[in-house]
Amino acid sequence: MEISKWNNIMKSFQDLMGWQKGMTEVLVTKKLAFGRKGIEEIIGREEKYLVHILRKRYRDITEEIEYREAQKLKKEE
User: CA 43 to CA 49: how far, in whole Å?
Assistant: 10
- Whether residue 13 is predicted with pLDDT greater than 80 in this model: the reply is yes
**Amino acid 76: pLDDT:** 82
pLDDT confidence band for 75 (50 / 70 / 90): confident
pTM for this predicted structure: 0.87
